Structure 1
Amino acid sequence: MRHVREEDLQELSLLDRESFPEEPYPYFVLRQMFDVYPDHLLVLDDGTALMGYVLCGTAPDLSRSWVLGLGITPDERGQGFGRLLMEEALRRLRGLGVREVVLTVAPANKTAILLYENLGFVGEPTLHENYFGPGADRLLMRLRLSRPGFG
């Protein structure tokens, strides 16, 4: 696991399209996320290819960070890589003093919802209909982080 590098962006874009074929980030968005949040874009690299990534966007006052993407290539799913990436991202956010982490997930993505619940995220009771446009409903989930030394 490491920070993404500029030379990884093309491969990251391909990984995102493979992970989310119906709604990938356009290359230019990933490029801008790399420019804005370079310390919050981690990849899993087996030495020959990228296997997954996690991207977080954090408010300057550290009040909240959004998980903007967690993608694992289809061949690597079910091996704990998503958990590994999320745990590391949460560890780093906690170390920065971020107080809350928020994410959205498709309500039909039961595997991701279970992962997030196992990490302590709690879903809001109501579904956000058309969150990403017509028919793109999302469940909003939140995790309160405790600061180091404050339980």
Structure 2
Amino acid sequence: MPNIRPYRPEDLPAVQDICVRTGDAGGDARGQYSSDELMGDCFAAPYVTLEPRFAFVLEDAGQPVGYVLGTADTPAFVQSYATSWVPHLRRRYPEPYAETDRWLLELGLNPQRMLEPGLENHPAHLHIDLLPQVQGQGFGRQLIHRFLGAVREAGAPAVHLGMAPTNTSARLFYERLGFQELPVGGPTVTYLGRSTTV
């Protein structure tokens, strides 16, 4: 039976793998970039490196098959990301960038994009990904509740997330968990939010 536990540093390769295998609006993005680690380096590794206390792994037979990660304080995380993670990304992916990587690296190298006006009342944010074999079994709900408890204890009253408007199955999942669309963002990203009270 899969179980949820805190993230450990040795989970990083599996977290990277889960990130890219669910990175194409929920589908597999392997082979789309010069490295299959690039997506994880932009959207997963910075969280487990800079904010590991808010990272939780779904483990099945000793292997991570899903995760939730994020921060309780987006502005503070952005500052830490800019100071610590951007230099790491620049070293790992030096210019000139492969054309396939450019847009993703532009996101990864611009943490200020996380400071979307209108999200100030939802200071926490999260990312959650599960491999297909453990989807639809209640584990996503359990991961979200675990994360909400952790950021609530850290003082965050509400949480937000950004998602591709085309990922309709994820949208339904979040709405069932009490997330509602927030009046911010644009045509390429939909923001949802909710209280951290479970």
Amino acid at match of 1:64: P
Q: CA RMSD in A?
A: 2.7
In structure 2, the partner of 1:32 is: 46
Report sequence identity in percent. Answer: 27
Q: How is 1:23-102 mapped onto 2 (pairs within 5 angstroms)?
A: 26=38, 27-29=40-42, 30-59=44-73, 60=76, 64-67=123-126, 69-102=127-160
Amino acid at match of 1:84: Q
Alignment counterpart, residue 180 of structure 2, candidates 122, 136, 139: 122
Which 4+ residue blocks in structure 1 deviate beyond 4 angstroms? none
* Aligned mates of 2:16, 2:69 — CA distance in 1: 13
Instruction: State the number of aligned residues.
Output: 139
Q: Secondary structure at the match of 2:153?
A: helix
TM-score after normalising by structure 1 = 0.78
Alignment counterpart, residue 111 of structure 1, candidates 151, 169, 191: 169
* Aligned mates of 1:126, 1:15 — CA distance in 2: 28
Tell me the CA shift for residue 90 of structure 1: 1.1
Q: Contact between 2:17 and 2:37, CA under 8 Å: does it hold in 1?
A: no
Amino acid at match of 1:33: Y
5+ residue gaps, structure 1, are: 130-136
* Aligned CA distance change for structure 1 residues 25 and 64 (closer, same or farther; 3 Å): farther
Q: Which structure would you say has the larger RCO, counting Cα contacts within 8 Å and 6 or more residues apart?
A: 2
- CA radius of gyration, larger in: 2
Alignment counterpart, residue 15 of structure 2, candidates 12, 15, 20: 12
Q: Contact between 1:41 and 1:56, CA under 8 Å: does it hold in 2?
A: yes
In structure 1, the partner of 2:6 is: 3
* Aligned mates of 1:43, 1:37 — CA distance in 2: 14
* Aligned mates of 2:155, 2:184 — CA distance in 1: 28
TM-score after normalising by structure 2 = 0.61
5+ residue gaps, structure 2, are: 77-120
1:76-133 Cα offsets, whole Å, 9 max, x none, are 211121111111111222232211201011222222212211222110356622xxxx
